Structure 1
Amino acid sequence: SHTVPARAWVDTRLALWALLGVTDLVDRFHTLYEHTALHYPGLARWMTDHPMKVLLHTAAWHKLVRTVRWIRDHRAQQVYLREIDVPGVDTKFIETHKAILAELLDHALPENRIDAGAPKNDLAARYGFRTKPIYIRLRYLGASPLPFSELTVRAQELADWPPGVRTVFVLENEITYLSLPPVPDAIAILGSGYAAALLRHLPWLDDVDLCYWGDIDTHGFAILDQVRGRFPHTTSLLMDRATLLAHKSHWSQEKTQARDGLTNLTPEEAHLYQDLRTGTYRPHLRLEQERIAITTVREALTRHRG
């Protein structure tokens, strides 16, 4: 018979680490821990709770600590991530290490410096850095009160109603936006697929005739639905069944369809949207703005003005 040991006794931690073959790892962790505890004790507790995460970032650890300390010591609202001034740290470093930085910042910063509703991978939004401005591109369709017929401006600087504007057309397609014929007292805004996100910055749209024109496909109606969710008085232009059927030779295919469940469409729009979803005429059918005859566009604008 053989005697099988029920337990092993190791006298010291050093012996245990040697037995497990992790002496080098432990030494490395202790070196990082002691340096951090000396220069930034606020992270020491986190390190003891997450030693393996620390070891995964051994090569970058000191830069990570200095970055967190810089952010803690500088109120970030007035700077971009690009402006973090730590030797060896640039936007590439921050992007590469944003997951571990988010964990460290969540631990190191006071609650009022953290937007818990923002995702951890969006460091700028979560920790109060400046974000890239939102720009709005517009052109006057009538006489411009400015020496420019077209402008691209920061959304926050377009918070006031442009003088003399009574009608606003929002389009997704650039060449269609550029080729719109003259319309008195009107401007066109280029949405570029983000119309709903852009327009919410312009509260004065509540007080103008707002008209959205997108592709006749499920995504076009989804954007219209979002715009009308914020501006219920929005009308649509050339997004109807008659326009679709009159341009059959210009039909194309939508690669992926938008989600179902739109709630801000008129009955006619909703019926056409469902026909697009179910493939009544053709699976994944779409009619792009730029394929609609320019004479049809001019006639639609004339009707709209009338």
Structure 2
Amino acid sequence: MISPEEIQKQALSWWKPILQSYISGVPFFPRTIDRIGKVKSTGITGNLELLREQISRLHRHSKSNTGLGYEVKTVNQTFRRAGSQEVPDNIVFESIDDYLSFVQKKKEWKYFQQHYELLVATFASLKDWAYQHCLSLTNPDIQWADILKVCHYFVAHPRPNLYLRQLPISVHTKFIEQNTALIQSLLDFLIPGHIRHAGQQRFAERFYLRFDEPLIRVRILDMSLSVAGSLSDISIPLSDFQKIDLPIVRIFITENKMNFLTLPSVPGGIAIWSGGGFNVSYLREIEWLNGIQIYYWGDIDEHGFQILHQIRSYFAGVESLMMDKETFERFKQFAVDGGRSNAEKLDLLTGKEEEMYRKLKTMKGGNRLEQEKIPQEYVESVFRGRFR
């Protein structure tokens, strides 16, 4: 026979659907529990006293005894040995009040109603959002009035191009920072056409706020290209790098900073360093790079080829530099054990690059030649032969 605790467990599983029924306007009650472990003739023999105690306990916690809660619907059954007995047939919650009293959610229901009405009164279009995120509306600690002030500003001023602390909203910057996940979820519904990139999860970048941007370091390898007289090495915010307009012929990207700093002069060339490694992702939206010949020089190891594959996914014409079998064999005495990549195949590598990548993956050790281990004299000879 079902117990009051089991009834409560099943009733609690209805909580989210009940909230959603309020939003959709579809009645949820009365609601019946039919699977209660009904009494059978085979189960009553020898267990009559236990059964009577279970039924008595079920009634003690029911609406007939407490005033609110579940009702026990009964039927008369005749058993061969026990005779006629009135036994439970099903459990019924007739109303939301009965339910709330039994599961002790009156306060949460009150908060939910207040927050939902405020939400749709401010933005009727958030009804669908509320349906999906109804549980958050039961939280008494969320300051919905201030949350909606922030949303109202972004709806009126999408793409503000201000720092967070500059937004003219009567809430603290810290409040916005502490609630960015919730605010982002709401703004995704309210201003879907003003999201910078669907995969961008950082709030400021997603909604066109200014932020502490990555710095792109630029070395001028041909002083005729210098943007300000004799400046040859500058660091600029990513957004400023996007605006560069110089007659650049070729660009060199390195994985290691010291190699970046020691690249020799090249006609029409600049070198850029975005932080090394997989930070090349910062460059993917720099449109003017599509018209420039790009060279990537990374470590000859599995991750180096993975980075090459990554940057080539942004700019198809990228060429690798000193990442070939000849370079590896020439300086293999400097090779060390390197980390492993989970990628079995990198589709954007050339045939020779793929061959080198496969060779590295089959090596038990000595599978990493760091680019800084390649002598400077060799680097300069390669550049003289290729770019002079």
Matches within 5 A, 1:6-155: 6-7=89-90, 13-36=96-119, 43=126, 46-47=129-130, 50-56=133-139, 58-90=141-173, 92-107=174-189, 109-113=190-194, 118-119=198-199, 121-124=201-204, 126-130=206-210, 133=213, 135-144=215-224, 145=226, 146-155=229-238
- Alignment of 1:252 with 2:372, yes or no, is no
Change (3 A) 1:63 1:244: same
Q: CA separation in 2, counterparts of 1:259 and 1:14?
A: 57
- Give the paired residue count: 299
Give the structure 2 partner of residue 288 of structure 1.
Answer: 370
2:325 aligned to which of 218, 238, 241 = 241
Counterpart residue type for residue 118 of structure 1: A
State the TM-score, normalized to the length of structure 1.
Answer: 0.78
Mapped contact 1:76–1:130 kept (Cα < 8 A)? no
Bigger Rg, structure 1 or 2: 2
Q: Cα offset for 1:19?
A: 2.7
Q: Are the equivalent residues in 2 in contact too, given 1:195–1:227 (CA < 8 A)? A: yes
1:148 match: secondary structure = coil
After superposition, the C-alpha distances for 1:123-145 in whole angstroms (9 at most, x for unaligned) are 44554545655543211234354
The match for 2:384 is: 302
> How much has 1:244 moved relative to structure 2?
1.6
Equivalent of 1:261 in 345, 348, 355: 345
Q: CA deviation at 1:197?
A: 4.4
Structure 1 counterpart of 2:288: 203
Q: Distance in 2 between matches of 1:42 and 1:293?
A: 63
The runs of 5 or more residues in structure 1 that have no matched partner are none
Report SS of the residue matched to 1:268: helix
Q: Which blocks of at least 5 consecutive residues in structure 2 are unaligned?
A: 1-81
Q: Aligned partners of 1:160 and 1:49: how far apart in 2?
A: 44
Structure 1 residue 302: Cα displacement: 1.9
| Match in the other structure for 1:3 | 86
**CA-CA distance at 1:272 after TM superposition:** 0.8
The 1:305–1:127 alpha-carbon spacing in structure 2 relative to 1, beyond 3 Å, is closer
SS of the residue aligned with 1:286? coil
Deviation track 1:59-91 (CA, whole Å, cap 9, x = no partner) reads 33333222222222322343344444444442x
From the superposition, tell whether residues 290 and 236 of structure 1 become closer, same or farther in structure 2 (CA, over 3 Å): same
Identical-residue share of aligned pairs (%): 27
- Compared with structure 1, are the counterparts of its residues 16 and 133 closer, same or farther at alpha carbon in structure 2 (3 Å cutoff)? closer
Structure 1 residues 72 and 205, CA gap change in structure 2 (3 angstroms): closer
Q: 1:47 to 1:283 in 2, by over 3 A?
A: same
In 1, the alpha carbon distance for the partners of 2:319 and 2:258 equals 21
Structure 2 CA distance for aligned equivalents of residues 229 and 110 of structure 1: 29
Does the CA contact (< 8 Å) of 2:220 and 2:270 recur in 1? yes
CA distance in 2, matches of 1:202, 1:110: 25
Q: Which has the higher contact order (CA 8 A, sep 6+)?
A: 1
